[in-house]
Chains A and B, each alone.
Chain A
Amino acid sequence: SQTIHQWPATLVQPVGSPLSLECTVEGTSNPNLYWYRQAAGRGLQLLFYSVGIGQISSEVPQNLSASRPQDRQFILSSKKLLLSDSGFYLCAWSLSGIRSPLHFGNGTRLTVT
């Protein structure tokens, strides 16, 4: 069966520091991968999605970037964090080529101080 791993679970970083969140998927090949963010009291907002290695689409212009160096690895990064980057970050995967639900990791709670 497929599993998704996301780490760390919580992170406190000062303003201006870099960020790297990692996500890996097991048990499937060539998945679609996604980064979502949930700000306090709001729904989930799609940040980035990827349909293959090195293929990244950005949905919202911002201080963050994403990379997919391997088929089942997705990384969310920032060179300099802002206070507004605080939130709950979720990685997700779905089967490629067909309509299918997204399956989420357990998320990373990021607090920028």
Chain B
Amino acid sequence: DQQVKQNSPSLSVQEGRISILNCDYTNSMFDYFLWYKKYPAEGPTFLISISSIKDKNEDGRFTVFLNKSAKHLSLHIVPSQPGDSAVYFCAASDGGTSYGKLTFGQGTILTVHP
């Protein structure tokens, strides 16, 4: 049972435009959400997180939006740059544990064209 889903395997965007990556979850106990970026042959790098007490969190060009009623989160990258081309994973954890037991989505390959 896939509790975190990224339904778009890939996304192609022009440089300078907005990239929107989507993620849906089914477990209502999830209350902490993260986005990671991964280049080939490297480990994922943490980008941004959001707690369920918020609906938006910004860090530079990256903004994460959380819609708890829809069990949906999204990552906006504005403006997109060619260096943003990578695989993006969303992840979630529930409040029942203080350990970093994250449940990951399958990932979305973002390609930003010059």
Please report A residues at the B interface, Cβ cutoff 8 Å: 6, 9, 32, 34, 36, 41-46, 49, 51, 59, 90, 92, 94, 96-107, 109
* In the complex, the 4 A-B pairs of residues with the closest C-beta atoms, listed nearest first: A104-B43, A94-B100, A43-B104, A101-B46
Chain B residues positioned under 8 Å from A45 (CB to CB): 104
Chain B residues positioned under 8 Å from A9 (CB to CB): 41
Q: Which residue of B lies closest to A100 (CB)?
A: B100
Among A44, A49, A94, which residue has its beta carbon within 8 angstroms of that of B104? A44
The number of A-B residue pairs with CB atoms under 8 Å apart is 65
Q: Smallest distance from the beta carbon of B13 to chain A beta carbons, Å?
A: 22
Chain B residues positioned under 8 Å from A105 (CB to CB): 43
Q: A101 to B98, Cβ gap below 8 A?
A: no
Q: Is B32 in the interface zone, CB < 8 Å from A?
A: yes
Among B4, B41, B43, B93, which residue has its beta carbon within 8 angstroms of that of A43? B4
Q: Is B89 in the interface zone, CB < 8 Å from A?
A: yes
Please report B residues at the A interface, Cβ cutoff 8 Å: 4, 6, 32, 34, 36, 41-46, 49, 51, 89, 91, 93, 98-107
Q: Smallest distance from the beta carbon of B64 to chain A beta carbons, Å?
A: 13
Q: A34 to B100, Cβ gap below 8 A?
A: yes
Q: B89 to A43, Cβ gap below 8 A?
A: yes
Which of B42, B46, B99, B101 neighbours the largest number of chain A CB atoms within 10 Å of its CB? B99
Among A6, A90, A102, A106, which residue has its beta carbon within 8 angstroms of that of B100? A102
Q: Smallest distance from the beta carbon of B93 to chain A beta carbons, Å?
A: 8
Q: B89 to A106, Cβ gap below 8 A?
A: no
Q: Which residue of B lies closest to A91 (CB)?
A: B43
Given A42-B106, A101-B34, A101-B49, A32 and B43 contact (CB-CB distance below 8 Å): no
Q: Smallest distance from the beta carbon of B55 to chain A beta carbons, Å?
A: 18
What are 16 pairs between A and B in contact, CB < 8 Å? A34-B100, A41-B106, A43-B107, A44-B44, A46-B101, A46-B102, A49-B101, A59-B101, A90-B43, A90-B44, A92-B100, A101-B46, A102-B46, A102-B102, A104-B45, A105-B43
